[in-house]
Amino acid sequence: MSTRSIAWINTPVIMEALIRYKENRLPRSMKLWLEKLLDINEKESGGLSMDITHS
């Protein structure tokens, strides 16, 4: 079975996912996908440190 790769990511969707990740409001599967996609290692970094401002 071949692995699928991502060709593009919708920016507003990924930004919303990052906001929800920071607020700990993502389902586990989405959280794992985002961590893998963005190479986030929560255990080593103590979580994602970012400053996102949204209206």
pLDDT tens string 9-50? 889 989 999 999 999 999 999 999 899 988 888 665 455 555
Question: Rounded to whole angstroms, what are the CA distances from 47 to 10, 23, 24, 41?
Answer: 23, 11, 10, 7
Which candidate, 5, 4, 45, 3, places its Cα nearest to that of 21?
45
> Within a domain: residue 46?
no
How many alpha carbons fall within 13 Å on the CB side of residue 30?
A: 13
pLDDT at 55 (0 to 100): 47
Domain count, the chain: 1
> Within a domain: residue 29?
yes
pLDDT at 24 (0 to 100): 95
Whether 34 and 40 have beta carbons less than 8 Å apart is answered as: yes
Domain limits at 16?
11-38
Pick the residue with more confidence: 10 or 7? 10
> Within a domain: residue 54?
no
CA distance 31 to 21: 7
